[in-house]
């Protein structure tokens, strides 16, 4: 019987007997673990090679440590009672990271540009502690001689919010900066961004729409005038933008239930960019012959395909983006008739 730790054992563990260090001849403890050490070295090398081949697709936030510099003006004490609006405007050289649709008001964050909806939101921070008349007097005095009428005024948390559908007015308000000031020294500093008033469709909303639509309906000609519908004074305090698909759908439901024999409808000047609400119009408005869609935002004649099965004899499309696609008016008329 071979002895423990003898030559037989060395043959079992020593796979490198010919490496010239003399470890293969004896049965000592050192020769027993030399193969294990070589195995560990090989395994470590394989792991290193495997890690070399691994590819990371994650971009580094700090590519070079030498590029990371901490400036004193960026270090702030969070226990200080600082106004957040001041904190966001102190670092002027930092590029804007404002995402699309962000609730952060534009103001100094970016230039105000016209939008398709045609509405702009004005926010006055901490304005809720003053009366509406006091704030309006200060705004009108700062904008003099230009006048405006704020719409859908409301108080929300620590600010006052109102809207305007006039881009020039919105731009002038944005440019006021610190010039709008109350008698006690409070600076309004209004912030302006693209924004649409809140729309909540409930039974009260539909009842108000129905009453205004009844007022605008001509029984003799079977014609309904919904031009610039949201601006009707009898709709206050509700906001009824027909460019919203759900609001236009609510209006069509009222038409189908009350005036199914409608022959003419005027939808001029409603900032409409789609006719999605009119899907199935041939069944809902089978007698529609006259359709006014002037001064809207229809980008293509393809939006008119929903009316192709209706007996339309008069169609108005003036001042729509789709009109600008055709230099020849006759060509535009031909394509319109084909639709």
* Block residue for tokens 């957040």: 84
Between 47 and 22, whose confidence is greater?
47
Section 22-27 average pLDDT:
44
pLDDT score for 49: 56
Spatial distance between the Cα atoms of 107 and 168, rounded to a whole number of angstroms: 15
pLDDT score for 45: 61
Burial class (CB in 10 A: 0-12, 13-18, 19+), 127: buried
Categorize the per-residue pLDDT at 44 as very low, low, confident or very high, splitting at 50, 70 and 90.
low
Section 1-11 average pLDDT:
47
Please check the confidence at residue 325 and state whether its pLDDT lies above 70. yes
Task: Locate 166 and state its tokens.
Answer: 């006039």
Tell me the pLDDT of the chain averaged across its residues: 74
* Cβ 14 vs Cβ 23: under 8 Å: yes
> Going from the N-terminus, what domains does the chain have, and what CATH number goes with each?
103-194 (3.30.70.330), 203-338 (3.80.10.10)
pLDDT score for 144: 87
Q: What angle do CA 103, 277, 238 make, to 5 degrees?
A: 50
Model confidence pLDDT, tens digit, residues 80-124: 333 333 333 333 333 444 455 554 444 444 688 888 778 899 999
Section 255-267 average pLDDT:
95
pLDDT score for 180: 85
Section 58-87 average pLDDT:
38
Please check the confidence at residue 70 and state whether its pLDDT lies above 80. no
Categorize the per-residue pLDDT at 60 as very low, low, confident or very high, splitting at 50, 70 and 90.
very low
Section 246-272 average pLDDT:
95
For 30, 34, 42, the CA distances from 39, given in Å and listed in that order, are 15, 9, 5
Non-local (6+) Cβ contacts of 305 within 8 A are 339
Highest mean pLDDT pick, 51-65, 152-166, 184-198, 199-213: 199-213
Spatial distance between the Cα atoms of 93 and 71, rounded to a whole number of angstroms: 13
Highest mean pLDDT pick, 96-100, 135-139, 216-220: 216-220
Categorize the per-residue pLDDT at 179 as very low, low, confident or very high, splitting at 50, 70 and 90.
confident
Section 202-225 average pLDDT:
95
59-63, 83-87, 96-100, 175-179: range with lowest mean pLDDT: 83-87
Spatial distance between the Cα atoms of 245 and 278, rounded to a whole number of angstroms: 9
pLDDT score for 187: 87
Categorize the per-residue pLDDT at 216 as very low, low, confident or very high, splitting at 50, 70 and 90.
very high
pLDDT score for 19: 45
Between 217 and 236, whose confidence is greater?
217
pLDDT score for 39: 52
pLDDT score for 41: 60
Length of the chain: 339
Whole-model pTM: value is 0.57
């Amino acid at each position: 019987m071979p002895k423990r730790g003898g030559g037989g054992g060395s043959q079992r563990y020593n796979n490198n007997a010919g490496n010239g260090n003399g470890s293969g001849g004896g049965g000592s403890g050192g020769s027993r673990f030399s193969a294990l050490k070589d195995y560990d070295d090989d395994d470590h090398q394989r792991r290193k090679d495997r890690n070399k081949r691994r590819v990371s697709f994650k971009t580094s936030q700090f590519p070079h440590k030498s590029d990371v510099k901490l400036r004193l003006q960026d270090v702030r004490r969070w226990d200080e009672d600082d106004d957040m609006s001041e904190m966001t405007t102190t670092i002027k050289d930092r590029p804007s990271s404002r995402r699309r649709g962000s609730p952060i008001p534009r103001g100094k964050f970016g230039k105000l540009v016209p939008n398709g909806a045609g509405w702009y939101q004005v926010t006055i921070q901490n304005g809720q502690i003053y009366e509406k008349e006091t704030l309006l007097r200060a705004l009108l005095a700062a904008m003099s001689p230009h006048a405006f009428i704020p719409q859908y005024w409301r108080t929300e948390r620590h600010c006052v919010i109102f809207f305007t559908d006039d881009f020039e007015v919105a731009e002038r308000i944005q440019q006021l900066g610190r010039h709008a000031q109350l008698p006690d020294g409070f600076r309004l500093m209004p912030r302006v961004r693209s924004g649409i008033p809140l729309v909540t469709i409930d039974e009260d909303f539909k009842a108000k729409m129905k009453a205004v639509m009844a007022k605008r309906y001509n029984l003799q000609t079977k014609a309904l005038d919904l031009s610039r519908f949201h601006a009707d004074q009898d709709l206050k305090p509700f906001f009824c933008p027909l460019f919203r698909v759900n609001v236009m759908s609510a209006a069509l439901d009222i038409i189908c239930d009350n005036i199914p024999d409608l022959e003419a409808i005027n939808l001029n000047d409603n900032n409409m960019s789609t006719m999605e609400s009119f899907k199935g119009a041939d069944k809902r408005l089978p007698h529609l012959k006259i359709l006014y869609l002037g001064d809207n935002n229809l980008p293509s004649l393809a939006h008119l395909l929903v009316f192709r099965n209706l007996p339309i004899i008069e169609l108005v499309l003036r001042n729509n983006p789709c009109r600008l696609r055709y230099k020849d008016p006759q060509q535009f008329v031909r394509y319109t008739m084909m639709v």
